[in-house]
Structure 1
Amino acid sequence: MAKTITVGLIPAPELPETIAWQLVDSLSGAFNEYIDGDISWEISVVRDPLTGAAENVDKLIKRAGAIKEANQWDYTVCLTDLPIFSKRGVVLGDVNDKAGVAQISVPAFGLPPIIKRVKEAIIQVVGELYFRVNGKPPKSSGVTSRNGLLERRFFLSPIRKMTPPDGIEKSDVRFILKPKLYGRLKLLLGMTHANRPWSIIPSFKRVMAVAFATGAYGLIFPTFWRLSAAYDMNRFWILTLSALIGMITWIIFAHNLWERPSAKSRRRLRMLYNAATLLTITVAVSVYYVMLLLLFLTAVAFIVPPELFSEVVGLEEKEASFMHFIRLGWLVTSIATVAGAIGSSLERETTVRNIMYGYRQQQRYDEMDYYGEKDEE
């Protein structure tokens, strides 16, 4: 009768949990293929907030170990959306032999697609636990002998396996992304993806309504028509950038999304979270701008007669071209975006944070009691 080993996945809510459920059915066969085919592998998933500050890896592993004991698993893999650093670079994962616990930082995988890379990271860390705990040599496939599957998935950013890492009490093996700069870029993009910037469109209905109503009303006035025909392309781009920057700035500061210095936050992580906030809102507002542009181009096509447009802007006998209407829609979009920024202040602060932030970043602010903190600088 084959020996049974139970492996528990403990994902944080949202993106890590989604990944865990997508992988749970395929992991048993993967463990047989890459680790030990004579074992009957059983996989379980238990969602947990993984409480603790982002700076504290030991606390995270301790929490995962408690859940492991409660469920009587052999090994546990924690999927977190925490950004984890070391002095040597961005941390992809940690393994604790004694506790039988490993953790994987999902943001370190960067932008999608990441499902296969996370799966292979899980195989890697479970292999580390199995071979190190049981004292068996790795299979000839080389999953754990070096960096194995992880190395192949991160060929642009080599992974350094450290045994044991310095200064981390509860970690026996640590995987670090190299070089530092590229690893931090992947981490920033991964955190931005976890914040779901695309969710602004269905959630900002009132903002879109204010912006569209403002722009549609302006379309009936000939002033916009004349300006769109008189402006050169440089002015259009300046207006676009000004509108985007204005809305981004307004959302950040009107809703207190910028993390200020606090006694409970470290400067490096504060800068990382602020960069993720800025990139998240930039992507979200850019998507919002494009959607608004498409709406106004459609509105221009129905509202503005070509003959009347030519007469108003003084095109003489030349008929208005398709480009004239694109420029008009573009101008109105930039003006309406400013109105949308003001309209975003109509949303409650908690609503905006729910739109802009993933679970971990919201938890971070709650744990720090951020908005009640006094500045340290």
Structure 2
Amino acid sequence: MEVKTVGIVSSPELPYTIANIIKKKFKHDLSNYIAEGKFEWQVEVELDLLTGATEKVAEVLEAAEHLKKRNGWDFAISLTDLPIYNGKSIVLADANITACTAQISLPAFGWRPTPNRVEIIMLHMIKELYFRQTEEYENNDLEQKGIGPRDPKKQKSFFKKLEEPFRFSAVRRIESSNKSGETTVRFIIVPKLNGLARILLGMTIANRPWTILPSFKNVVAIAFATGAYGLIFPTLWKLSISYEIYRFIGLTATAVLGMVIWIIFAHDLWEKKSNENKNQLRWMYNSTTVLTLGTSVVIYYIVLFLLFLIAVSVFVPPDLYQAEADKAVGPLNYLKLAWLVTSVATFAGAIGAGLENPEGVRRSTYSYRQYSRYEEIKEKEKSGSMKNKGKDDPQ
């Protein structure tokens, strides 16, 4: 039996993890849904650093084509956490029919790039590549084999399965050919605003915001010490009783936002405008950084709140608290006191503590893609500064 091989070219971290998870199931589904019984399908996964670092879509496809030829694959699919655009449209996946290569963008899946959802799109891309290479492209024929129709009116029913994991979005199929005769098929997310939101959430998940929490140990220590000391004095007790809920919410938002801004500028995480970046991607990366740190700080805030809830329950006597309040106090008052102390301590922690390892923070905050981009831009800026300095130095 003839063997057909599909190579999954993956960028590091989350894409590589997903690729290895779906490898076995993908092989089984290829055998069931594409030329059933005609071929024996093999699936190989290869890690490629370029796929995770470059923001040039053409380079990603060229790298996939190079690996396809080198390894003797029949098809190659790049799995990347790079956002892909077609003009201003968000691309979920695209394929070069002529070269038998495709790529899938994980950020377009939003906050749930689960292996099952990725595998559904990957199977569709192989169907596009296989059937377009072996049979005449006729809507009524190939549509039944899993190929999207050219006619936009027929696409809605065809993409019903794709829309299931994209409940609030629609998927559209676009086909085009260039002067070289290469045919490209793209799946884009519409409407644009929804696609943009998915990209931001997807890139934030790829950055793994929970991994930065170990770097908050010094901040938690200083914040908890400051808050515990503040609990000795009745001022915070009185304020927690007199404050309305909107004040607590305002303090929380200000404390979280202030800490996010402090971390960004203290550790140089804001990507500045330069000749090496595009405004659209720069805005996307900076927005992702804010969302990533915002998620991390919110988790930190919740942990600190739980610690203070235990502290006020143990160290603030009900009778003394009631005497200061001049009225009966209950569990709600203790919750409000812990809430207030958490916000005050977060301010103190942000101002008075430095995170343990700036490099570790940067690696935790950025995915491989964004960290590589950051390092590349810094290196180019450094080289440019050295050249300018050399020109300015007197001979």
Name the % identity: 44
1:343 positional shift? 4.9
Q: Aligned with 1:92: secondary structure?
A: strand
Matched, 1:192 2:211: no
> Which residue of 2 is the match for residue 349 of structure 1?
358
Corresponding residue number in structure 1 for 2:270:
258
Aligned CA distance change for structure 1 residues 122 and 145 (closer, same or farther; 3 Å): same
The residue that corresponds to 1:19 in the other structure is 18
Residue identity in the other structure for 1:71: N
Partner of 1:163: 175
Q: Residue 150 of structure 1: CA displacement?
A: 2.8
Report the Cα distance in structure 1 between the residues aligned to 2:181 and 2:248, rounded to whole angstroms.
Answer: 56
Q: Does 1:111 align with 2:111?
A: yes
1:143-162 alignment runs, 5 A limit: 143-146=146-149, 148=159, 149-162=161-174
Aligned to 1:99: 99
How far is the alpha carbon of 1:178 from its aligned partner?
A: 1.2
**Kept after mapping to 2: 8 A contact 1:100/1:129:** yes
Match of 2:6 in 1: 7
Give the SS at the match of 2:95.
strand
Relative to 1, partners in 2 of residues 1:201 and 1:66: Cα closer, same or farther, differing over 3 Å?
same
**Superposed displacement of residue 32, structure 1:** 2.0
1:126 aligns with 2:126: yes
Q: 2:235 aligns with which of 219, 223, 230?
A: 223
TM-score, normalised to structure 2, is 0.87
Match of 1:81 in 2: 81
1:274, 1:168 → 2: CA distance? 37
Aligned letter for 1:235? R
1:175 Cα deviation from its structure 2 partner: 1.5
Q: Which runs of 5+ in 2 are unaligned?
A: 150-157, 386-395
Q: TM-score, normalised by structure 1?
A: 0.91
Structure 2 Cα separation of the partners of residues 111 and 73 of structure 1: 31
The match for 1:340 among 333, 343, 349 is 349
1:106 Cα offset (Å):
0.6
Q: Trace 1:189-338 onto structure 2 (pairs within 5 A).
A: 189-311=201-323, 313-315=324-326, 318-338=327-347
Deviation at 1:295, TM superposition (A): 1.1
Distance 1:344 1:100, change over 3 A: farther
Paired position in structure 2 for 1:178: 190
Aligned equivalents of 1:269, 1:324: Cα separation in 2: 46
| Cα displacement (A) at 1:364 | 1.2
Return the alpha-carbon distance in structure 2 between the equivalents of residues 60 and 221 of structure 1.
61
Deviation at 1:328, TM superposition (A): 1.1
| Amino acid across the alignment from 1:27 | F
Q: Is the 8 A contact 2:51 2:80 kept in 1?
A: no
* CA positional deviation for 1:109: 0.6
**Which stretch of structure 1 is more off in the superposition, 95-104 or 139-148?**
139-148
CA distance in 1, matches of 2:172, 2:179: 17
Question: Unaligned regions of 5+ residues in structure 1, if any?
Answer: none
Whether the 8 Å contact between 1:58 and 1:169 is mirrored in structure 2 is no
Q: State the alpha-carbon separation in 2 of the partners of residues 169 and 254 from structure 1.
A: 51
Find the counterpart in structure 1 of residue 34 from structure 2. Answer: 35
Q: Is the 8 A contact 2:9 2:51 kept in 1?
A: no
- Do 1:65 and 1:101's aligned partners in 2 also have CA atoms closer than 8 Å? yes
User: Partner of 1:83: helix, strand, or coil?
Assistant: coil
Q: Which moved more, 1:277-286 or 1:156-165?
A: 156-165
| CA distance, structure 2, for counterparts of residue 14 and residue 229 of structure 1 | 48
Deviation for aligned residue 1:198: 2.1
Q: 1:269 to 1:121 in 2, by over 3 A?
A: same
SS in 2 for 1:46: strand
- Cα pair distance change 1:173/1:131, threshold 3 Å: same
Letter of the 2:147 counterpart: T
Shift of 1:199: 2.2
C-alpha deviation, 1:139, in angstroms: 6.1
Q: 1:10-45, CA deviations, whole angstroms, 9 ceiling, x for partnerless residues?
A: 111111111111101101121122222122111111
Residues 12, 236 of structure 1: CA spacing in aligned structure 2 closer, same or farther, 3 A cutoff? same
Change (3 A) 1:294 1:170: farther
Q: 1:75 to 1:294 in 2, by over 3 A?
A: same
Residues 85, 8 of structure 1: alpha-carbon distance in 2 compared, 3 angstrom cutoff: same
Change (3 A) 1:321 1:165: farther
The alignment covers a number of residue pairs equal to 371
Specify whether residues 57 and 167 from structure 1 end up closer, same or farther in structure 2 by C-alpha distance, changes over 3 A only.
farther
Contact 2:10 2:51 in 1 (8 A): no
Kindly indicate whether the alpha-carbon contact (under 8 Å) linking 1:53 and 1:367 is maintained by their aligned counterparts in 2: no
- Which amino acid in 2 is paired with 1:80? T
Which is worse superposed, 62-71 or 21-30?
Answer: 62-71
Query: Which residue identity lines up with residue 48 of structure 1 in the other structure?
Result: D
